[in-house]
């Protein structure tokens, strides 16, 4: 008696085997060489697997790639199942066509190509082609073909039982991964000053896990293992918050600061990434006067901490320091606030299904 149907949306076995090779061999190039394909083909399969599972599996690093904890857990669970499947199918041949196994199993279990195609979202012809591919690998027919359709032979039924067991085992491994976190890429300053303070309320409101990765540049949407991105930009995405530039400092340092000219007598803080902020503000607020210069920090969040500590006057991005201004830990004694052409924007890096965790997070962030 055959087992129940495998779990829905079970990823292609070839994609899972490719992930095993990437993790075990340490990268795309080594996996490609072992499997006799290009590194680009390996990368495409990994991206497709990430899209199917809704979870990041491989992260790029300075010298290659590194697996995520989810990838390591998946490989640990799936690798022995695939090895056992190879042993089970050894009487038929070596190196089975992994892409044909799921259609073949469905065709045997459901007693025909049309029924299998309907269950898998494929055409009957596509299932028939994969079944023929499996038979070609085995070296002999496994279905009796007749006018009213096909009938699996006893050997095919025996193979189906082994395949069904493997597919259910893989489904159990996938279920054990739990819900994938919503992955957000953000500028480091945005991650620290805008996203981080909102995460506790987000988790409480939605009951979802969120993973934030700090990046200096927006990721490429087609290749990035992220659901959402939050960056300053002039166009695109959805506006989360408008931005403006204005000098900010600790209340104790604000004494005597009334106009731009007063800035000449206090320490100035700046950020190396946004080194042009003081010039952009000064062009509007104090035309013809020297641009204030001072100590530069490589991290904007660190510069904000220094400003809160009274170390100097920082050119503030209102979208990032608004909470400090509301709490009174920073003040803005020297007007004006100069509007920035770049707003803080939310970008959707992949299609978000209705009611999906990433879609709910995106909607929440737009109202936070």
pTM above 0.85, yes or no: no
Residue pair 313/266 in contact by the 8 Å Cβ criterion: yes
- Return the axis-axis angle of helices 113-120 and 124-138, rounded to nearest 10°: 110
Beta strand 182-186 with 210-214: parallel, antiparallel or unpaired? parallel
Please state, in angstroms and rounded to a whole number, the distance separating the CA atoms of residues 301 and 214.
12
Q: Map out the domains of the chain with their CATH numbers.
A: 13-176 (1.10.10.10), 182-241+344-367 (3.40.190.10), 244-340 (3.40.190.10)
Tokens encoding 81:
């199942």
The predicted-structure confidence for 73-109, as pLDDT tens digits, reads as follows 999 999 999 999 999 999 999 999 999 999 999 999 9
3-state secondary structure of 214: strand
Q: How confident is the model at residue 344 (pLDDT cuts 50, 70, 90)?
A: very high
The predicted-structure confidence for 235-283, as pLDDT tens digits, reads as follows 999 999 999 999 999 999 999 899 999 999 899 999 888 989 999 999 9
**Is 149's pLDDT higher than 60?**
yes
Sign for the CA dihedral angle at 151, 155, 158, 160 comes to: negative
Q: How confident is the model at residue 178 (pLDDT cuts 50, 70, 90)?
A: low
Beta strand 343-348 with 238-241: parallel, antiparallel or unpaired? antiparallel
End-to-end CA distance of the chain: 54
**Is 224's pLDDT higher than 70?**
no
Tokens encoding 219:
């990721």
195 phi and psi, to 5 degrees? -75, -50
Q: Where does 36-153 have alpha helices with state H?
A: 39-53, 69-89, 98-110, 113-120, 124-138
Q: Which helix (H) or strand (E) holds 155?
A: helix 154-176
312 phi and psi, to 5 degrees? 165, -175
Residue pair 207/282 in contact by the 8 Å Cβ criterion: no
Please state, in angstroms and rounded to a whole number, the distance separating the CA atoms of residues 102 and 119.
11
Please state, in angstroms and rounded to a whole number, the distance separating the CA atoms of residues 223 and 349.
9
CA atoms within 13 A on the CB side of 26: 1
């Amino acid at each position: 008696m055959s087992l129940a149907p495998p779990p829905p949306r079970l990823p292609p076995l070839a994609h899972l085997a490719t992930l095993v090779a990437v993790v075990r061999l340490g990268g795309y190039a080594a996996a490609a060489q072992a499997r006799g394909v290009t590194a680009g083909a390996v990368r495409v399969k990994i991206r497709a697997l990430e899209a199917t599972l809704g979870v990041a599996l491989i992260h790029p690093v300075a010298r290659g790639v590194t697996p995520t904890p989810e990838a390591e857990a998946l490989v640990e669970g799936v690798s022995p199942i695939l090895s056992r499947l190879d042993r089970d199918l050894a009487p038929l041949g070596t190196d089975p066509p992994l892409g044909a196994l799921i259609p073949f199993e469905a065709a045997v279990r459901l007693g025909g190509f049309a029924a299998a195609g309907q269950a898998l979202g494929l055409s009957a012809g596509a299932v028939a082609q994969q079944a023929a591919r499996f038979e070609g690998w085995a070296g002999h027919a496994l279905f009796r073909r007749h006018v009213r359709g096909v009938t699996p032979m006893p050997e095919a039924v025996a193979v189906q039982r082994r395949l069904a067991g493997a597919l259910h085992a893989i489904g159990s491994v996938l279920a054990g991964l739990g819900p994938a976190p919503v992955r957000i890429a953000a500028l480091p300053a945005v991650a620290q000053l805008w996203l981080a303070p909102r995460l506790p309320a987000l988790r409480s409101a939605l009951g979802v896990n969120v993973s934030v990765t700090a990046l200096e540049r927006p990721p490429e949407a087609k290749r990035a293992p992220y659901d959402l991105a939050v960056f300053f930009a002039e166009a695109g995405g959805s506006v989360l918050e408008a931005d403006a530039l204005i000098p900010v400092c600790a209340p104790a340092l604000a004494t005597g600061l009334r106009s731009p000219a007063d800035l000449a007598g206090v320490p100035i803080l700046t950020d190396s990434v946004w080194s042009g902020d003081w010039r952009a503000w000064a062009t509007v607020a104090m035309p013809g006067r020297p641009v204030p210069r001072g100590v530069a920090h490589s991290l904007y969040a660190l510069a904000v901490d220094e400003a809160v500590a009274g170390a100097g006057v920082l050119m503030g991005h209102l979208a990032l320091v608004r909470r400090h201004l509301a709490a009174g830990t920073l003040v803005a004694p020297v007007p004006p606030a100069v509007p920035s052409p770049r707003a803080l924007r939310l970008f959707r890096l992949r299609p978000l299904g209705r009611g999906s965790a990433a879609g709910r997070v995106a909607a929440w962030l737009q109202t936070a």
